[in-house]
Amino acid sequence: MMIHPLADVKSSKIGKDTRVWQYAIVMEDVTIGENCNINCHTFIENGVSMGNNVTIKSGVYLWTGIEIEDDVFIGPNVTFTNDKYPRSKQYSEKYQQTYIHKKASIGAAAVVLGGLVIGEYAMVAAGALVTKNVPNRALVMGSPAKVVAWLNEDGTKMILQSDTYLDNKNNTWKVVNNELILI
């Protein structure tokens, strides 16, 4: 583990080979897995947990209620919220829970509203405004974000064939109720 001398890290639950860079603030009740990279100018609030191999780029603030699984990438200046009705000096008894599942990527300057789920292998485009759950393997973009493609595990687009999709392993998928289903 490497903690830069200019970082303010209160948590002792930080995994092996994780790097926390200058001007990062990590509160006491935070869990960070192994081999993560927490870039400079970040803030991680109490109650946040993240798995292994997670990258948090500069300018990201992770608020109470965010749970991040393994191998997630969060780009620079991504904004998260956790309170649907924020008011100054009024504190929620329970904050919204946001889940980011394994291998998901969120592009620079995206905004993710609280209480949502970002699915496995999903990708949120830079600058997107995420107001609804993002299905597994979906590529979403826009304001509000909408599904524009379906992705292979490596992030490349699946091939549309009539009303089904073919992944790069020759599996066939179908979209049912805005979810990708292996057939």
In a domain, 156, yes or no: no
In a domain, 158, yes or no: no
In a domain, 157, yes or no: no
In a domain, 173, yes or no: no
In a domain, 24, yes or no: yes
Phi, psi torsion values for 58, nearest 5 degrees: -60, 145
Residue numbers of the domain that contains 140 = 2-151
Identity of the residue numbered 52: N
For the segment 13-21, the average pLDDT, to the nearest whole number, is: 98
How many domains does one find in the chain? 1
For the segment 9-32, the average pLDDT, to the nearest whole number, is: 98
In a domain, 120, yes or no: yes
In a domain, 117, yes or no: yes
Q: Give the domain CATH number at 131.
A: 2.160.10.10
Tell me the whole-structure pTM to 2 decimals. 0.96
3-state SS of 2-52 is EECCCCEECCCEECCCCEECCCCEECCCCEECCCCEECCCCEECCCCEECC
In a domain, 159, yes or no: no
* pLDDT tens digits along 66-113: 999 999 999 999 999 999 999 999 988 899 999 999 999 999 999 999
